[in-house]
Amino acid sequence: MILKDYFLAQLDREAASTRKAIDRFPEGHSDFKPHPRSMEFGYLAAVVATMIGWIALIIDRDELNLDGPDGAQFRTKPLATKAELLASLDNAIANALRALESTTDEHLAGPWAFKMGGNPVSQNPRSIMIADAVFSHLAHHRGQLTVYLRLLEAKVPALFGPSADEHF
């Protein structure tokens, strides 16, 4: 199997699960935090909605220095409405698809670095960064989002198996 085909198939599955989770976002709770050290719900939901777009960032650039001159444009901004979240998700999916469809396995094997203050925080082949920093990281934050949903009495979608609110 060609690596980019694997990522395209993974993107399709992750996008569907992410859309189900974002579609349950209860408006009016953007400021909700289950704990003082937790993220606000609107910010967490925006992270989940936009994270798939990081695939394009990893493919299109050789690095991201988050504290660099253009780093601010890549920082997540909280969103307050389901419509904004779904639009952001659609944009992220479109950018990821474009990038994956136009790349090669050779390019995916090339190095990519995430930096802060010019210092590498993580540096791996693009394929590893997509697998870890996007797909695994997305599953983690999507799981957090479902906990917030439960705490707010919203229905939790079935993602990797049935939930108490939804069966396959």
pLDDT (0 to 100) of residue 22: 97
Residue 159, in any domain of the structure: no
State which amino acid sits at residue 151: L
Amino acid at 78: P
Domain membership of residue 20 (yes or no) is: yes
* 125 neighbors 77 (Cβ within 8 angstroms): no
Q: Helix or strand or coil: residue 25?
A: coil
Contact 80, 42 (CB under 8 A): yes
Our measurement of the distance from residue 115's CA atom to the centroid of its chain's CA atoms, rounded to an integer in Å, reads 18
Asked if 133 and 125 count as a contact pair (C-beta separation under 8 A), the reply is: no
Q: Can you give the pTM of this predicted structure?
A: 0.94
Say if 109 falls within a structural domain. Answer: yes
| First vs last C-alpha separation in the chain | 29
Each residue's pLDDT tens digit in the chain (168 positions)?
699 999 999 999 999 999 999 999 999 999 999 999 999 999 999 999 999 999 999 999 999 988 878 777 888 998 889 999 999 999 999 999 999 999 999 999 999 999 998 899 999 999 999 999 999 999 999 999 999 999 999 999 999 999 999 987
> Would residue 90 count as lying in a domain?
yes
Is 158 a member of any domain?
A: no
Q: What pLDDT is stored for residue 89 in this prediction? A: 98
In a domain? residue 157? no
Rounded Cα–Cα distance for residues 71 and 11 (Å) = 25
Given this model, what pLDDT does residue 40 score? 96
In terms of residues, how long is the chain? Answer: 168
What's the domain count of the chain? 1
Asked if residue 165 is part of any domain, the answer here is no
Q: Residue 160 domain-assigned?
A: no
State which amino acid sits at residue 63: E
Chain-centre distance of CA 151, in angstroms? Answer: 22
For residue 129, what are the domain limits? 3-151
> What is the SS3 assignment for 93?
helix
Residue 79 maps to which CATH number? 1.20.120.450
